[in-house]
Structure 1
């Protein structure tokens, strides 16, 4: 009888009311983890898409709801070509694994910054292991590269008097609501150029072409504009 199995027998076999009966998965994981190679642990439901030195981001095609039982690399370790779990700096060709302006993190944000989403989102405590853009960089999803925000491609707006805005695509001033209350969630899109408002026909026009602009919020907006112009 193997030492680990012998220990399990003396700890659990003689007392069926023991913790082993109440928490069988917990003890199974402890016992079998000691049979796993170094830097590995036994999981009853490990990822079907484990990370490795060649692909620290994990396989492109993966079904998240499928898992397997067995020995897996512990957090912070990757499996190399020899099947051994090693730290990232022990991976062959480490510098070639992550691209320019990237770094390997064992617990990076699952909501990374991108050109289309340059502001952080509330993602909870979840994290992922792999290559992430370094601080000050965002991911250009069009070519999967990390660039500075000013290097992000500028979208071309086809309509006259429109400009592309990285964050206020869904929240722009209009003739009906010249001072909208916007959320902190960024969404890029084409908006009216500064000083113009979108009318009911979807066109960007000057304030005096909004129609009756003497009442309500639009009147207040005009008063603010006039004060600015006469400073």
Structure 2
């Protein structure tokens, strides 16, 4: 204080214990210890205010301090910092973390019953985590398992357990058959399969592993089944086809359709056998096939009507609703996608692609050139006989062969001038010539490319085009006049 200056002149008041803690906002920080000795009179901020930046401020305006490696980071009132289970907020110079409490685990539950009624089994207990949505999960296990020993088992097979009620239903796979009624009798002790399993061939299996049998089956058309099929066992998921009906083995039981075979779905027609003219049908991949596909079956059944095709879902649809199968990928009808520089669409079960480039017409003296890395060709001035060296050029051309053609094919060529001259010498052969032509070198790894031209009748015509790797000047044939 300056001589004659009062505490009130600086917004303070005179008190008998001016060094009482806390004096400043920093005294509130967790890592700061406020030291107080014997009370000394002096100037101090009014009650409810603390010193901050040499001024008295309300405690609610105090900043909070968070220590780091080499300094303290200050946060304004209301500032938030992340905590392990939420956020802490700067309030009255300290961080309030009451809203960031971590979830706690509940007490362990009672142990469950032993998994086996005899011998050694397992039992479990659990506890809950009080976490809410958005908060971290609890630390520690929530389920514990331990072995439990029961009375010794009376010699049950390895995959069975002892039970005081061993004759409960169902006991075996045969009890799952609708034709078999498992009679529940008074409980008797003995060996049986663990819960959820039944007996098959003296082994405990799940119902999904039970095999199906046609013996004692109530399938209406069972008499038409061959003797071999009659006595065989069918695994889960196995199917039996007869005319237009199908039986599927599920959990040891056959589930069969019982349709009138002469009533075919929409778009299909009844096929009376191999002599029937409707015995063959096309799939969506045969829309453009020239040769007739093989007959699907010599037996009776429903086949696609004329002008309809069997799609991958088994339905008979018109060509417009056929999907496209390209490299193991299925595209729905009308779907559009891009491949390299082409835009493709699924039309009538067939992939139709175009370059997607605008029509390009070059003026006289210019040619279409396809630049490396570009999808669409551009016009460039044609260089004929003016190049000082032999160079390689690539042009985009349309290739035709009879009624077959292919558009936008990149074709390379060699053009340019090479050293050539003829001079007279005073001795034989009196004429000496040097004749070099702009010649080609084929690609050593891929000297030719095989392409298919599309024909008007839907066929393809294979062609072979050389692949020019580079161009160079070489001796021309007939360039030496010494023998003339």
TM-score normalised according to structure 1 size:
0.30
Query: Higher strand share goes to which structure?
Result: 2
Q: Which of these two proteins has the greater Rg computed from alpha carbons?
A: 2
TM-score normalised according to structure 2 size:
0.16
The structure with higher relative contact order (CA 8 Å, sep 6+) is 1
Query: Higher helix share goes to which structure?
Result: 1
